[in-house]
Structure 1
Amino acid sequence: MKHTGMAWGTRLSGAVLLLVGLGLIAWNERRVMDYGAALARHGGSPVLDLGAEGRPAAGQFGALTRVSGMPKIMDAPRDREFNVRAESPVLIRHVEMYQWREITVGGNTHYEVDWVDRPIDATNFARPAGHVNPGAFPIQGRQFEAGEVKLGNFKLSAPILRAFPGQVDVTPDEKALPSNFAATFQRVGDALVTSAKPSNPRLGDLRITWQAVPLQAMTVLARIEGDTLVPGTPAREGDAGFDVQVGDRSLLDVMPALPEPPGAVLPVRIAAFLAASLGALLLAWTSRLRRDVLFAAGTGAVIIAAVAGVMWMAGDAMAASVWLLVAVLGAGLAIWRVQQRTSSASN
C-alpha cells in the first residue's frame, strides 16, 4: 500500500512537471511572437544596438543600428577658393551683399541699406529710382562636406552628415588667402569684407563668413550598408529613414516606441525542456524505462518542440519546421531507448 502511494505521488509530480514545462514553453513562444508582431509595426526587423564599439560584420547588411560616440574627421572639409578649413563634418560659406531693402510698415514705405544674403531685385520696388542694387553676387554661398567621417567604426553617408545639428563660427586666416582675395578682402572679426572702411560699408560691398557643425558626441540610428551608415527605408511619409541626436543616447531614447525584446528566451526554453524531461522520467518511474535519462530527454523534446512548432505554424513556417524537426529527433531518441530496453528484457 505504501509503495502504491509513493508510485502515485511520483506520477502526480511527473504530471505537474510536465504541465509546468508545457506552460513555460507556451508562455515563452507567445511573448516571442508578440515581440515579432510589435516589431513589424516599427519597421519589421530588430535594431542592432552597436553603440561605440560595434564593427561592420557579415550578416549586418541592411540592418538598422544605433551607433554612438565622437565623430572622427578623416578628411576635413575645405573651402579651396579662400583656403578655409574646419575640423568638422560640414563647413558652410555665407555670402552677403550690402543692398537696398524696401520696408513697408503700416502703409508707409521706406528704404535702408543692409547686409542681405541674396540679390534683391530693385525693379520691383515701389520707388526704384535711387535704390538700384548691384545684381548677382560675384561669389556664391556654398556648403562643403567632409570627405570621410566615422562614427565608431562606421563611415557616415552625406545625408546623415547634413543632418548634424548646430553651427559655430569659423575664423578665416587672412594670411592664408590667395593673392587675388587678399588684395580685395580684409578680416573684420570672423568675417572677410570688401569694405575699405568696415564701419561704413558701401552699396555692393561683400561680407563673407563661415560656420561649421561643431564636433560633439552623437548618436545615429541608420541602416548598415557595408561599412557605411545610410538612410533606411522611411516607415511613413515625411520620415528621413534615419535619426541623429546629440549625445550618447540609448536605443529607447532614440526609438521610444520600439518594443523591448523578451528577456531570457533561451534559458526559459531550456527550463521548459528540463521540466518536461523530469516529468517524463517520473511518469515512467514504475516502468522498465525508470531512470532512463535518454528516454526522458527524448520524450521531453517531443512534447516541448511539438507544442512550440504548432504555435509557430501560423506565423513563421521556418521556425515551425525547426521545432518540428527537434520533435522528430526527440521521438527518434525515445523510440530507440524503448527498443533497447525491450531487447534487453527479452534477452
Structure 2
Amino acid sequence: MAYQEVRTTGYGTRVGNSFKAIGSGIVLFCLGTALLWWNEGRAVKTEKMLEEAGSAYVEMPNPAKKDAQLEGELICGTALATTQDSLIDKDFGVGATAIAMRRTVEYYQWVEHAKEKSEDKLGGKEVTTTTYTYTKEWVSRPVESAEFKDSAYQKKNMVLTTVENDQQYAENVEWGAYKLNESLIHAISSREALDLAIAEDLLKQFDKNTQTAYERFYGAPKNNNQPAPEAQQPAAIPDSIKALLPDSVKAQLDSIQAVNDSINKAMEAAQNKKDLAYVHQAGNVLYFGRVPGSPEVGDVRVTFEKVVPAKVTVMAVVDGDTFKPFKAKNGKRFQTLVMGKKSGDEIIEAEQEGNNFIKWALRIVGILMVIGGLKGIFGFLETILKVVPFIAGIFGWGVGLVCTILGVVWSLIVIALAWLFYRPLLGITLLVIAGFLVWVFAFKGKDKLKELAAKAATK
C-alpha cells in the first residue's frame, strides 16, 4: 500500500523561495551559456582533428612484423589482441589468463520511489502530495532503509554479505609484434563468462558467514527437508533358480541388475554431495542466499566475467613497440581501438558521427539550461499572482513562452558567436536567423497585439 505525505507551503514562503530562486536561475543561465560556447569550440576542434587524422593515417598491412618506417606515424591496422598475464581475484580465489577480469555485485533490496503532485489553492498556498511506493529490486549497492518515509519499511533492508565491484586488467597485451597501452587495453570489450573454481574450504566459510547473517535478521529457518530415500536393492534370485532360466532371460536379468547398480551409485553420489545451504554457484554467478530462484531481501549475487583475446583494429601513433595518441595541430589528441576489422575511413566516419551526436546532445542540454535559468529568474512574477491560481496559470504560461523564446534566441546568438569565432561563415548565418526571430517576436508580435485590440474595441 502506498504511503502519502502532504506538505502545505504558505504564500509568503512561496514568494520568498521564488526570490531566492533568482540567484539559482542566474547561475543556471550562466552555466548553460558557458556550456553552449564550450561545446561549439570542442566540436569544431574535434572535427578539425579528425579531418587531420583522416588525411594523415597510413594502413599497417602486417602488424605481426615491426616496420621501422612506421615509427611516429598514425597507423590503422587489425590484429589479434592476446596476453599471457594471469589475473586473480584474491577475495574469491578465481582467476584466468585474460586481458581483463570483472566482478559485478548486485543486492536484492527494498527500493523507495517518490512521486510528487502539487496543487495551488486560493490564497496562494500550495499543497504538495508525495506518494511513496516500495518495490524489491536488484540494485548495484545496498539501500539504507532507515531513511524510508514509511515506517513500515524502515530497517527492512539488510545484506547477507558486502562485496565490492572489482575490475583488473593485464599489463602486457600483445597486438601482433606490438604492445597495447593502458587506454587501448581498456577499450577491448570481448567479454565472456568466467568459469568459477572456488576452493571448497572458502565456500564453506562463505556459507557459514552467510548463515550467521541470515539467522541474525530472519531467525533460523524451518527445516522442511525430508531425508533422502535410501537406495533399494532388488531381491536377489537364487543361483539354483537362475540356472533353470533360459539364456535370454538371464541376459535381461543381468541388464536390469546393471541399470540398478548405476542408479544406486548415482543416488549414493547425490547423498554424499556437499550441498551448501546459503551459497550457490551456477556458471559464472556466485549467489548468497537460500533459494536463487526465489530471492529474499538481503540476497547477493556476484557475477564474474573475463575479457578474452579478440581481433581488434587500432588507430594510434607507433611509439617503439607500443602506441601513443595522435596529436593534431590544434592540440587535440586521438587514439582508438574498435572491435573487429575496420578501415581507417570507417573509424574516422564513426568518430565524426559520434562527435556530431555529442555536439547536438550538449546543445539541447545547454538550451534547456538557459531556458530553465530564465524561468528561475522570472518565476517570481507567476508566484506573486498565485493568490488566484487561474490567473497565475495563464500568466505563468505566458512567462514560460517568453522565456522559451528568449532562451532559444539567446542560445542561437551564443552558438553563432562561437561559430563566428571558430568558423565565421556559418556564424554569420546563425546570427541572421537569430535576428529574424527577434524581429518577428518584437515587431510582428506587437502588430498582432494591436490587431487583436482593435477587433476587441469594435465589438
Alignment TM-score, normalising by the size of structure 2: 0.41
Confirm or deny: 8 A CA contact 1:50 1:67 kept in the other structure. Answer: yes
Paired with 1:195 and 1:208, the residues of 2 have a C-alpha distance of 12
Residue of structure 1 equivalent to 2:341: 248
SS in 1 for 2:60: strand
- Give the Cα–Cα distance (whole angstroms) in 2 for the partners of residues 62 and 71 of structure 1: 21
Which of the pair has the greater relative contact order for Cα pairs under 8 Å at 6+ separation?
2
> 1:91-114 CA distances to partner (integer Å, 9 max, x unpaired)?
110011221111346864321222
Give CA-to-partner distance per residue, 1:318-340, whole Å, 9 cap, x none: xxxxxxxxxxxxxxxxxxxxxxx
Q: Provide the C-alpha distance between the structure 2 equivalents of 1:234 and 1:161, rounded to a whole number of angstroms.
A: 23
Contact residue 147 and residue 154 of structure 2 kept, 8 A: no
More displaced 10-residue stretch of structure 1: 90-99 or 167-176: 167-176
Consecutive unaligned residues in structure 2, runs of 5 or more: 1-47, 117-129, 211-278, 352-459
Distance 2:53 2:285 in 1: 46
1:189-247 deviations in Å (ceiling 9; x for gaps) = 4311111232333332221001233433110111222211233337779x772122222
Richer in helix (by share): 2
Q: CA deviation at 1:145?
A: 0.6
Structure 2 residue aligned with 1:116: 139
**Alignment length (residue pairs):** 220
Is 2:163 the partner of 1:69? no
Equivalent position to 2:289, from 171, 187, 195: 195
Equivalent residue of 2:184, what SS? helix
Aligned 8 A contact 1:73 1:146 in 2: yes
| 1:140 aligned onto 2:164 | yes
Cross-structure match for 2:88: 78
The one-letter amino acid of 1:79's match is D
Gaps of 5+ in 1: 1-37, 259-347
Counterparts of residues 97-246 of structure 1 (less than 5 Å): 97-104=107-114, 108-132=131-155, 133-134=157-158, 138-175=162-199, 178=202, 180-181=205-206, 185-233=279-327, 241-246=334-339
Kept in 2: contact 1:67–1:152 (CA 8 A): no
Distance change (3 Å), C-alpha of 1:197 and 1:227 = same
- RMSD of aligned C-alpha atoms? 3.7
- Pair 174,40 (structure 1): closer, same or farther in 2 beyond 3 Å: closer
How far did 1:154 drift?
Answer: 1.0
Note closer, same or farther for the CA distance 1:219–1:51 as it changes in structure 2 (3 Å cut): farther
Which amino acid in structure 1 is aligned with residue 315 of structure 2? L
Distance in 1 (alpha carbons) for counterparts of 2:190 and 2:61 = 22
Taking a change above 3 Å as real, the CA distance of residues 136 and 192 of structure 1, as seen in their structure-2 partners, is: closer
**Counterpart of 2:134 in structure 1: which amino acid?**
Y
Cα distance change of structure 1 residues 165 and 100 upon mapping to structure 2, 3 Å threshold: same
Change (3 A) 1:252 1:84: same
Mapped partners of 1:198, 1:44: distance in 2 = 52
Q: CA deviation at 1:129?
A: 4.4
Contact 1:76 1:147 in 2 (8 A): no
Q: Which runs of 4+ in 1 moved over 6 A?
A: 234-237
